[in-house]
Structure 1
Amino acid sequence: MVAALKERGLYKTPLGSGKHDITCPWVEEHTDALDTGAAYFEPDDLYPLGGFCCQHSHGERYHIRDLLAQLEIPNIEARHKPLIRVIPGDLHRVVDAAEKELAARGRHFQSGGLIVSISSDPTTGDPSIVPTSAQALARELSVAALWEKYDRRSDAWVRCDPPQRHVSILYDAQDFRHLPPLAGVIRQPYFRECDGKLITEAGYDKTSQRFGVFDPRQFVIPEPTNEEVVAAMALLEDLLEEFHFVSDTDRAAALSAIFTAVVRPSLSYAPGFHVKAPVYGSGKTYLCELIGAFAGPGRNTKVSYPTTSEEATKVMLFLLLSGPAVIEFDDMANDWIPHGIIKRVLTAEHITDRILGASKIATVSTRTLFLGSGNNVGPVSDLLRRIVTIHLDPRCSTPATLNYKSSPVDKVRQNRGRYVAAVLTLILAWRKAGSPRAGVENIVTFGGSWSDYCRHPLIWLGQPDPATALLEQVKHDPDAELLGSLMVEWQRAFGSYSITVRRAIEAAETNSSLRDAMCEFPIVERGEINHSKLGWLLKKNMDRIINGMKFQKDQAEGRNAWRVVVADSPPLPPLPPLSRSITKSVTGNNKIIGGEV
């Protein structure tokens, strides 16, 4: 259209947003033949042929089709869309062309073997990843291009819809040549993994393969001077002022949860956080809402904790498909049952499984913050090393009747950019100071990026180690204590001899201490110790060292047998070089940081 208008001397200038100032082809009909008031509009989804408007008296008579006829431009060319012709024998080329045109629109991506798009909640503005259905894909392909097939009766190419066969082949594909990969959505400025650069621009970043949906103007991150660090820390501590933390380490753990919420998309792995209290109305759910407000503009995705492993797998995959910022298990009535999928989402970067109600396999990112809360419940077994517990205790019988002066959740939601910027400022200050790492015990799974973003900066700022509860849980694992007691009684009863499970159960009938140690585990059925369950328990914990002892598998009487042996300790690794010390002084709630920042 623009080329044809220029060729006839009718084109004047572009006006932006797809609008062009032109000379009306019927200018001689204007009053005094004034060459004003005519415009051409480029095609879009609502106006596939484009638009023509003339503000003179004949404007109601002439429309886009009249302009096309005047310029001798066929409708198919006016649409300014690519043309895909369905030719028998060229199926692969047709499907490839369809994917290419779909990618050219810039609205679709590939993620975990699926074609997806990004949608934002109209109320909160929170973005989510939306898998594209086969029906939606057919519609999008019809918008992306014009489709034609050859009609033998008319001996001509005629318009058609995208063929279902071609749509299905593209939908079922696992690998895509043209659709850009999408690793996740971002709701605020973030640290890019490969180079640690703070990305403050929204949109698609080819390096990280992430799409930022946020207004950069809301996140003003100052130079991390000493004054800005003190102000940022005071801003965050003020939010936690009225929560009834049991200890300073619990307050530090809450700050670490806030840091994790801000930088979770930059972390391959991160622990979950559980808020525990002895009575209802203690502020557990409210603290989870405060933490979640730092993760994104939307509300936490609240669900009940799954009771079975099968339910857990279905629920987790379904929830993670949309890439939520936070998944919260609110008001839990029972402990964190160590379902396999729950353990994986906390220590694996992706999980793969079949989509419920569909015949497709999907791989989803686990870069979501997991929160939980409940009265006197918490992580158990393998989850003790994956969940940080934050303890609250208002120390009164009816905490729900207590009065509070401020509403920290509302503060953050009304000015989220300022509070997120405060967290990023503190991390940047720690980096500027040389990234000093405190001489604290390492946590294997979370000893990398999570510690660098959410643990060491807080210790550098004068806070207690926020991972204290996690370390205590690992060291004082109730299951390990029970297993250690069984080892002690087993060694007292059998010494260093190898004993079959059957012989051990027979000996327990006359050895009450050994029997009591066995019965602490769920291996009793109808008052009798189940042989298979005891054997499975020993096999599961084989070679696990507790208090310098371990169960070792052997042979006796032609069967598998077990004995308790003293475990040899591995040689200690060399000590790391000492990091530069950071001088700190604390006055009330204000922490003044010595040295250069």
Structure 2
Amino acid sequence: MNMQQSPEAAAEALISRATLPGLIIDKGDLPAAVRAVADMLAKTGKVYNQGGFLVRIYNEPGEAVRAVPVTQHGVTMWTHELCRPVSLDDKGHEKPVTFPERAAKMLVDTAGNLVPALDGIATGPLLADDGTIRSQEGYDPATRLYCARAPRVSVPERPSRLDAEAALLKLRAVFETFPYADSQRITACDLDVVDLTQPPGEAESAFLAALLTAICRPSLTLAPGTIITAPEISGAGSGKGLLIQAITMIAYGQTPPAFTAGTEKGELEKRIASELLQSGPAFFLDNVNGTALKSDTLASVITERPARVRVFGETRMAELNSTAWIAITGNGLSISEDLARRFLAVELDPKCDDPEARDFPEGRDGFLANIKARRAELLSAALTIWRWGRQNEMQRGKPLGSFETWASWVRDPLITLGCCDPVEAIAKAKARDPFRLRVSELFEAWWQEHRTAPIKIAELHDSVRAIADPQGRGRQYVATFIGKLSGTRAAGFVLTRQEASGKWGSASYQLRKIST
């Protein structure tokens, strides 16, 4: 390939360069040049500060809108596209120079004070508490979101209950072929489908809440994530990933790239942070099979704004104000410890040996193509339910800490329309948590052997010790494990710790029954 420019092209490039504004590089005052370049970058409408990191928005036709970190070399390249860095000689004449590496590093390291802050990317309408729906293109300072590609929606100004019921039925009909674990089924056109004459069951209700959550997520400060699970042995091909793709196609007009947990210890947390730093509207962790998922990063990001995460390959921490809808799928997947209250759980069960053989009338590719073609229609249906909920008194469900606004925007309208409360299912998810099961078993054995007597670690009965330390790792392990359980409530008990009375004494523990 001939990389040489024609004389005409070379001349045109020189003329183009000559029209760019000059940027004087004073080695004695590099911060001045850095501020000038930052101002130019900000005016492009494509460069932002995300948690202290410089990122560039990519919004190319046919590709997902995303934020990509800007490197020092990227700063240098872009600077030369926007201006002509020059130095002045002793006579004041301009001399072309390369934008200094130190200045590029300074800009990358100090982005937080020089360009607008970015919390996320919205590719759907922005919503307000009074039921207002608005579309925006470009950066929205009020929400700190970069907005693009929001479709035109048609939502009644004051939807009636009949409007909301019709909208719910429309959404249910689109997804009626999915094997919700507890749904009542009928056969229609030789297909096994949900009986739409019956109210949604727990799994379908959780799915509908997940769909509305994804749509509202950019406009909510906090919202729970979603897990979609299926049986460990016969769950492959049940449609978990397809549901995620369909939800994101309606909510965002694009499907997120899936990523997996990896195999190395600690790798998952790095991957989670890396994905969230891209500011995409959705986060999709796929194929977390046969495990109890635990993640301090997810626990923090879902319930805290800002949340601090460590950036892979760097010692710096990033502050994330993430607006991403978080979705996880897996066969035989459960959620461990405190993640349970942070996720809606959608359970699929094809109840057959070969779920992959199940199909849609138009095939799986045709199903997604249909969702894409009907995006504005289906988004309008979901927003009809949402606006109806904002304008009328709703039935209130079970409280869920940290997610009060989400509950009134998403959960309460759905349960008013006859859906199950997905928050009530969280208690069931907690009951399946392996750690909680182990602690419950431990407390029950403790009560059987010791009742309310204050007990030191060395005095624990062998049956209690065996549950605390099934691998026989020793007294120190048991002491550490029991020590971390101080204040824990499980199985109707609470464990308390009494400190040692003297310098050489040992702490003791007491189990008490609590009212449930």
Report whether the alignment pairs 1:222 with 2:156: yes
2:64 paired with 1:117: no
Q: Judging changes above 3 Å, is the alpha-carbon distance between structure 1 residues 495 and 232 closer, same or farther for their aligned structure 2 residues? A: closer
Query: Given the alignment, which residue of 517, 533, 538 partners 2:482?
Result: 538
Q: Which has the higher contact order (CA 8 A, sep 6+)?
A: 2
Counterparts of 1:264 and 1:491 in 2: how far apart (Å)? 45
Which residue is equivalent to 2:119? 183
Taking a change above 3 Å as real, the CA distance of residues 82 and 318 of structure 1, as seen in their structure-2 partners, is same
Residue 375 of structure 2: which of 416, 440, 465 is its match?
416
SS at match of 1:315: helix
Question: Tell me, what secondary structure is at the counterpart of 1:294?
Answer: helix
**CA contact under 8 A between 1:261 and 1:295: conserved in structure 2?**
yes
| 2:273 matched residue in structure 1 | 317
Q: Tell me the equivalent position of 2:185.
A: none
Aligned partners of 1:402, 1:175: CA distance in 2, in Å? Answer: 51
Question: 1:278-328 deviations in whole A, cap 9, x for unaligned?
Answer: 213322232222223223222232111245552122111211121223332
Partner of 1:584: none
How many angstroms does 1:548 deviate by? 4.2
Instruction: Tell me the distance in 1 between the aligned counterparts of 2:158 and 2:262.
Output: 43
1:423-463 residue CA offsets vs partner (Å, 9 max, x unmatched)? 112100111214x242x3212133x1221222111012221
Percent pairwise identity: 22
- Counterpart in the other structure of 1:474: 430
Corresponding residue number in structure 2 for 1:345: 301
The aligned counterpart of 1:402 is 358
Which residue identity is paired with 2:390? Answer: R
Task: Summarize deviations over 1:205-242 as a string: whole Å, max 9, x none.
Answer: 111111111144x3333334335423322220111211
Query: Tell me, what secondary structure is at the counterpart of 1:552?
Result: strand
Which residue in 2 is equivalent to 1:491?
A: 447
Residues 336, 378 of structure 1: 8 Å contact kept: yes
Corresponding residue for 1:255?
Answer: 208
* Stretch of structure 1 that moved more, 163-172 or 547-556: 547-556
Asked if residue 133 in structure 1 is aligned to residue 71 in structure 2, the reply is yes
**Quick one: which amino acid aligns to residue 498 of structure 1?**
P
Q: Which residue of 1 aligns with 2:187?
A: none
Matched, 1:198 2:133: yes
2:297 alignment partner, SS class: helix
Change in 2 beyond 3 A, CA 1:400/1:162? closer
CA distance in 1, matches of 2:276, 2:248: 16
Q: Equivalents in 2 of 1:172, 1:425: separation in Å? A: 44
Cα 1:529/1:136, change in 2 over 3 Å? closer
SS of 1:455 mapped into structure 2: helix
Give the C-alpha shift of residue 562 in structure 1: 2.9
Deviation of 1:492 (Å):
3.7
- Answer whether contact 1:274 1:387 (CA < 8 A) is retained: yes
1:100 match: 39
Aligned to 2:9: none
Q: Is the 8 A contact 1:496 1:563 kept in 2?
A: no
* Structure 2 residue 168 is matched with structure 1 residue 233: yes
Asked if the contact 2:230–2:348 (Cα under 8 Å) also holds between the matched residues in 1, the reply is yes
Separation of aligned partners in 1, 2:92 and 2:398: 79
User: What root-mean-square deviation, in Å, do the aligned CA atoms of Structure 1 and Structure 2 show?
Assistant: 2.8
Q: Which moved more, 1:155-164 or 1:233-242?
A: 155-164
Partner of 1:560: 506
C-alpha distance in 2, partners of 1:466/1:483?
25
1:118-177, CA deviations, whole angstroms, 9 ceiling, x for partnerless residues? 1024324x210111111111122223233221223x652323232222222222215324
- The one-letter code matched in structure 2 to 1:190 is L
- Going from structure 1 to structure 2, the CA distance change for 1:275 and 1:106 (only over 3 Å counts) comes to closer
- Contact kept in structure 2, 1:320 and 1:365, CA below 8 Å: no
Corresponding position: 1:441 with 2:441: no
Deviation of residue 197 (structure 1)?
Answer: 4.2
Q: How many residues align?
A: 478
Q: What letter matches 1:230 in structure 2?
A: E
Mapped partners of 1:285, 1:132: distance in 2: 31
* Residue aligning to 2:389: 430
Structure 1 unmatched ranges of 5 or more: 1-45, 51-74, 509-514, 571-597
Structure 1 residues 145, 253: closer, same or farther in 2, change over 3 A?
A: same
In our comparison, the structure showing a higher alpha carbon Rg is 1
Equivalent residue in structure 2 for 1:144, among 65, 82, 95 = 82
- Structure 2 CA distance for partners of 1:189 and 1:491, relative to 1, 3 Å: same
* Aligned match of 2:8: none
Q: Point out the more displaced range, 280-289 or 533-542.
A: 280-289
8 A Cα contact 1:281 1:400, kept in partner: yes
CA distance change for structure 1 residues 294 and 562 in 2, over 3 Å: closer, same or farther?
Answer: farther
CA shift in 2, pair 1:470/1:294, >3 Å: farther
* Structure 1 position 169 matched with structure 2 position 125: no
- Which residue of structure 2 aligns with residue 386 of structure 1? 342
Report if the CA contact (8 A) 1:294-1:416 is conserved: yes
CA deviations 1:467-494 (Å, max 9, x no partner) are: 3321322356553343233223323433
Q: 1:66-81 alignment to 2 at 5 Å?
A: 79=19, 81=20
> What amino acid maps onto 1:223 in structure 2?
E
AA aligned to 1:272 is G
Distance 1:393 1:324, change over 3 A: same
Please say if residues 109 and 117 of structure 1, whose CA atoms lie closer than 8 Å, have aligned partners that are also in contact.
yes
After superposition, what is the alpha-carbon deviation per residue over 1:93-134, rounded to whole angstroms, capped at 9, x for unaligned? 23222222332333322221122221024324x210111111
CA contact (8 A) 1:183 1:365 kept: yes
Structure 2 residue identity aligned to 1:172: D
Contact 2:119-2:279 at 8 Å conserved across structures: no
CA contact (8 A) 1:99 1:170 kept: yes
1:433 is matched by which residue type in structure 2?
A: N
Choose which of 519, 526, 550 in structure 1 pairs with 2:466. Answer: 519
Change (3 A) 1:375 1:163: closer
Moved more, 350-359 or 323-332: 350-359
Hey, what's the Cα distance between the residues in 2 that align with 1:196 and 1:161? Answer: 52
- The answer to whether residue 227 in structure 2 is matched with residue 274 in structure 1 is yes
- Matched residue SS, 1:324: coil
Q: 1:542 deviation in Å?
A: 0.6
Report 1:445-456 matches (<5 A).
Answer: 445-446=402-403, 448-456=404-412
**1:375 matched to 2:311:** no
TM-score normalised over the length of structure 2:
0.84
C-alpha contact (below 8 Å) 1:309/1:339 kept by paired residues? no
* C-alpha contact 1:317 1:364 (8 A) present in aligned 2: no
Q: C-alpha distance in 1, partners of 2:150/2:54?
A: 26
Say if 2:484 is the partner of 1:550: no
CA contact (8 A) 2:452 2:512 kept: no
- The whole-number CA distance in structure 2 between the counterparts of 1:206 and 1:48 is 37
Secondary structure of the equivalent of 1:393?
coil
Q: What SS does structure 1 have at the residue aligned with 2:226? A: strand
CA distance in 2, matches of 1:411, 1:188: 18
TM-score by length of 1: 0.73
Closer, same or farther: CA 503–400 of 1 in aligned 2, 3 Å: same
User: Given that residues 286 and 329 in structure 2 are in contact (C-alpha distance below 8 angstroms), is that contact kept between their aligned partners in structure 1?
Assistant: yes
State the SS of the aligned residue for 1:299: coil
1:91 is matched with which residue? 30
